[in-house]
Each structure stands twice: as structure tokens, then as C-alpha cells.
């Protein structure tokens, strides 16, 4: 079983914020592959289903971004999922809007959700699906940018989420370069 974690903050007031693009990606995947309704589990909302040949547990921690690791650790321990089979879908300031990068392991680049996952799992050896939201240009504006809602004229968001859902079987098969290429071709 794979564990795909969307990073974000719970509650309707955060639903359209850039910081919640990880939740949005998992919602698109769950809808595309007709997963059952989300249910409260593991300090979050979870659903599971098949994507290609893989069984995938989707998890949206409801602990706020800075404590995401608690939910991830609970789900991983219950299902005995190794860190190498865990993928975090998260916002990335250092990528232009609609750009995506994938990698296994690595640092946190200052992302508090990744930092807490690393703490809870006691390793950096989990995957990252970095979803570009762009940088506001000034460090003083970063918090307002990530916690701000997507603007109506940011028409790249829905096509990117659709592309991530479309390419999800490639990620489930471990074909990282093919997954990234497919998303790039569709956006």
C-alpha cells in the first residue's frame, strides 16, 4: 500500500489557500479514481482505493500544517507503510505556478509540513510532489501569499490538478520522470 499525503490546513476558511494545494490535489485524485467518501481517521481525513495496480491510501491531516507528521505517522504505523512508500503533495514557493517536481527524500526547504513529517517519521526518506505556487517576490510577503486564496485569474490551478490526477497511475507505478513529464505536457 502507498500513502499519499496532501499537506494543508483544515477548515473551510483555508480551502482555497495556496498552502492547501496538497489537499486540492488529493481531492482531484480521489474524484478521478472514484474513491469512497473521506472519513475521519488517523487525525485526518482518509480514503483508499486503487490507482492502476496499486492500492493507495489518501490522507489529509486535520492537525494543521505544522503538526502534519502526527497524522502521517499514525496512518503509516497502522498500515505498516515504509517511508519510501509515502508521498507528500505540497505547495512549493520556489517553483513557478503550475510547475511540478517530484523527488524521493531530501530536505524540507523550510516547509513546516515536510519538517514535521520528517520529525514524526524520523527520516527524510519519503517522496515529495512539489506543486509550484510561485513566490511573491519579497520575503516579507511570503506568509500572506501562501495563506492567501488563489485569485480568480489564476486559471492554471484546475488544469494542473486535473493533470496530476490524470498522471497519478505513473506515480503509483514509481515512474517519477514519466509522471512529471505527463503533468508538464497536460498543463
Q: Is 79 a catalytic residue?
A: no
Q: Which three cell numbers stand for residue 41?
A: 481517521
For 87, half-sphere exposure in the C-beta direction (CA atoms, 13 angstrom radius) is 23
Q: Which of 19, 90, 111, 145 is catalytic?
A: 19
3-state secondary structure 78-126: HHCCCHHHEEEEEEECCCCCCCEEEEECCCCCCCHHHHHHHHHHCCCCC
H helices of the chain, where? 21-32, 68-79, 112-121, 142-146, 157-172, 176-186
The answer to whether residues 14 and 81 touch, using CB atoms and an 8 Å cutoff, is no
Residues with catalytic roles? 19
Amino acid at each position: 500500500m502507498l500513502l499519499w499525503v496532501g499537506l494543508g490546513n483544515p477548515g473551510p476558511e483555508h480551502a482555497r489557500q495556496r498552502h492547501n494545494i496538497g489537499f486540492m490535489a488529493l481531492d482531484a485524485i480521489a474524484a478521478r479514481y472514484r474513491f469512497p467518501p473521506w472519513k475521519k481517521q488517523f487525525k485526518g481525513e482518509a480514503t483508499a482505493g486503487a490507482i492502476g495496480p496499486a492500492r493507495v491510501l489518501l490522507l489529509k491531516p486535520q492537525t494543521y500544517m505544522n503538526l502534519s507528521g502526527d497524522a502521517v505517522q499514525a496512518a503509516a504505523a497502522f498500515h505498516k507503510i515504509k517511508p519510501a512508500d509515502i508521498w507528500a503533495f505540497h505547495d512549493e514557493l520556489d517553483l513557478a505556478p503550475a510547475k511540478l517536481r517530484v523527488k524521493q527524500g531530501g530536505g524540507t526547504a523550510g516547509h513546516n509540513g515536510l519538517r514535521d513529517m520528517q520529525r514524526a517519521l524520523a527520516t527524510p526518506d519519503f517522496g515529495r510532489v512539489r506543486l509550484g505556487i510561485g513566490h511573491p517576490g519579497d520575503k516579507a510577503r511570503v506568509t500572506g501569499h501562501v495563506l492567501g486564496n488563489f485569485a480568480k485569474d489564476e486559471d492554471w490551478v484546475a488544469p494542473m490538478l486535473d493533470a496530476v490526477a490524470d498522471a497519478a497511475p505513473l506515480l503509483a507505478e514509481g515512474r517519477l520522470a514519466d509522471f512529471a513529464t505527463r503533468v508538464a505536457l497536460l498543463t
